[in-house]
Structures are given as structure tokens and as C-alpha cells.
């Protein structure tokens, strides 16, 4: 039940390509909000642990390059049923992963908790549409997320092309490849909406934190 009289919490979303600093900045923002007496929680998508879809998504993302090149076959790899999911099926999994958490998300906001969220539906659209699979354009990609709770603000971690890849530290997960990341960035630019606010994500962790928290 909603806490009587409590103002609704804010839904603050971080979006950006891999290695743009979202996770670091989201964690720092939660810390700062709690320190100033605002109840805040860090959420992230995909939610790999507290969901039915999380395990398949985790298997899909950690599958090897060999599995990537055979994606679309719907086959399996090493008994990990998530690894060989088609592009369409994994897209639905990512969306379902958000829907699995949508009720809890709304409840937390109603109880006055501010949610700082690391990736959401914009990532869902950007990563799938960037694959340029015939029939899976932006409109198709957006459809399963229609009706999800919407963020109050989307902090876009803005970096010049190539800067995220230059940071290194791509961990070998699927999608962590410079060329593909540039395609992802292009779709983000196409699907950004009025919730987007650009945060200059270059410079030190502390510098970016100051920009992200004003």
C-alpha cells in the first residue's frame, strides 16, 4: 500500500552505450540522494537475478562469438537454452524482464522511493534495432515495451564517437564491440525523446557526478 501522503518518488534513468559510465554514475547518484535524506534505490536492466527471464538473458549475453554468428537459428549451446535465442526472442525476453519488475517499480515510486535505473526500454530498442534484422525496425522494437512505466528523466551519457571503446574494459559479453556500439549509438539518437537530458560523460568520475546530479 502507498504510504499515505508520501510524495511519489522520481524515476531517473541512465542510458548510454557500454562503457559510458552509467553504472558508476547511477550508484554514485543513489549514494548522494540517500546522504541528503532522499530515499533512493539503484535498479538495473536487464535484471539478471530477481526474474524468470534473467537467467536466459545472462546466458545469451555471455555466450561466445560462435553462438553469436549462429544467432537466429534458435539452437542451443552447451545446454544453455538462452545462448542460441533468435534476435526476436531475446528482444521479447529483455522486454518481459522489464514487465516482470513493472508492478514492483510502480509500488516503490508510489511509496516515495526514488529509483535510479541503469538502462531500460531505450536500450532495448537501440540494441535490437542496431542489428538491422529485416522486419525488426524501431517500431517493431518499441511495441512490446508499450505501456511500461515511463522515466521522469533520462540522463543520456554523452560521449564522442569511439570514446567509450577507447576506455577499454569491454568484458567479452555479446554486443561489446566498437563497430556495433556505434550502430547502437545511432539508434539511441533516433529514438531519444523529451525525457532525454544530455550529460557530458567525459572526464573524471567526480566531474561527471557533479554534472549528473544538478
**Interface with ligand TMP by CB under 6 A: which residues?**
18, 45-46, 61, 94, 119, 123-124, 127, 175
What residue has cell string 530498442?
Answer: 125
The answer to whether 15 contacts Mg ion (rule: CB under 5 A) is: no
Specify the residue, 119 or 185, whose C-beta has the smaller distance to ligand TMP. Answer: 119
* 14, 121 Cβ separation under 8 angstroms: no
Q: Is 118 within 8 Å of 125 (Cβ atoms)?
A: no
Could you tell me the three cell numbers for 153?
528523466
151 interacts with, out of ligand TMP, Mg ion, none, CB within 5 to 8 A per kind: none
Answer for which of 15, 18, 59, 118 binds Mg ion (CB under 5 A) is: 18
Q: What's the angle, vertex CA 134, arms to CA 131 and CA 136, rounded to 5?
A: 65
- Nearest approach in angstroms of CB 57 to Mg ion is 12
Burial class (CB in 10 A: 0-12, 13-18, 19+), 68: middle
82 binds, among ligand TMP, Mg ion, none (CB under 5 to 8 A by kind): none
Identify which of residues 8 and 148 has a Cβ nearer to ligand TMP in the complex: 148
Question: Looking at beta carbons only, is 11 or 45 nearer to ligand TMP?
Answer: 45
N-to-C CA span, the chain: 31
CB of 136 to ligand TMP, least distance (A): 12
Residue 43 DSSP symbol: E
Minimum CB separation of residue 17 from Mg ion in Å reads 9
- Bridge partners, residue 80, by sequence: 77
Phi, psi of 100 (to 5 degrees): -60, -30
CB under 5 to 8 A by kind: which of Mg ion, ligand TMP, none does 59 bind? none
Choose among ligand TMP, Mg ion, none what residue 196 binds, the Cβ cut-off being 5 to 8 Å by kind: none
Amino acid at each position: 500500500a502507498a504510504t499515505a501522503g508520501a510524495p511519489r518518488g522520481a524515476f531517473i534513468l541512465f542510458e548510454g552505450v557500454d562503457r559510458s559510465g552509467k553504472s558508476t554514475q547511477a550508484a554514485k547518484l543513489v549514494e548522494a540522494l540517500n546522504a541528503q535524506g532522499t530515499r533512493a534505490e539503484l535498479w538495473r536492466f536487464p535484471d539478471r537475478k530477481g526474474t524468470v527471464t534473467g537467467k536466459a538473458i545472462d546466458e545469451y549475453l555471455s555466450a561466445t562469438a560462435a553462438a553469436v554468428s549462429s544467432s537466429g537459428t534458435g539452437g542451443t549451446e552447451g545446454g544453455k537454452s538462452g545462448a542460441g535465442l533468435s534476435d526476436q526472442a531475446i528482444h521479447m525476453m529483455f522486454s518481459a524482464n522489464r514487465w516482470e519488475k513493472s508492478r514492483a517499480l510502480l509500488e516503490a515510486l508510489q511509496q516515495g522511493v526514488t529509483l535510479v535505473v541503469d538502462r531500460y526500454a531505450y536500450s532495448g530498442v537501440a540494441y535490437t534495432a542496431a542489428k538491422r534484422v529485416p522486419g525488426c525496425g524501431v517500431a517493431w522494437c518499441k511495441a512490446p515495451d508499450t505501456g511500461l512505466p515511463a522515466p521522469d528523466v533520462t540522463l543520456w551519457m554523452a560521449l564522442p564517437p569511439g570514446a567509450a571503446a577507447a576506455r577499454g574494459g569491454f568484458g567479452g559479453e555479446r554486443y561489446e564491440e566498437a563497430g556495433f556500439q556505434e550502430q547502437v549509438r545511432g539508434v539511441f539518437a533516433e529514438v531519444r525523446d523529451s525525457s532525454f537530458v544530455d550529460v557530458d560523460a567525459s572526464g573524471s568520475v567526480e566531474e561527471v557526478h557533479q554534472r549528473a546530479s544538478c
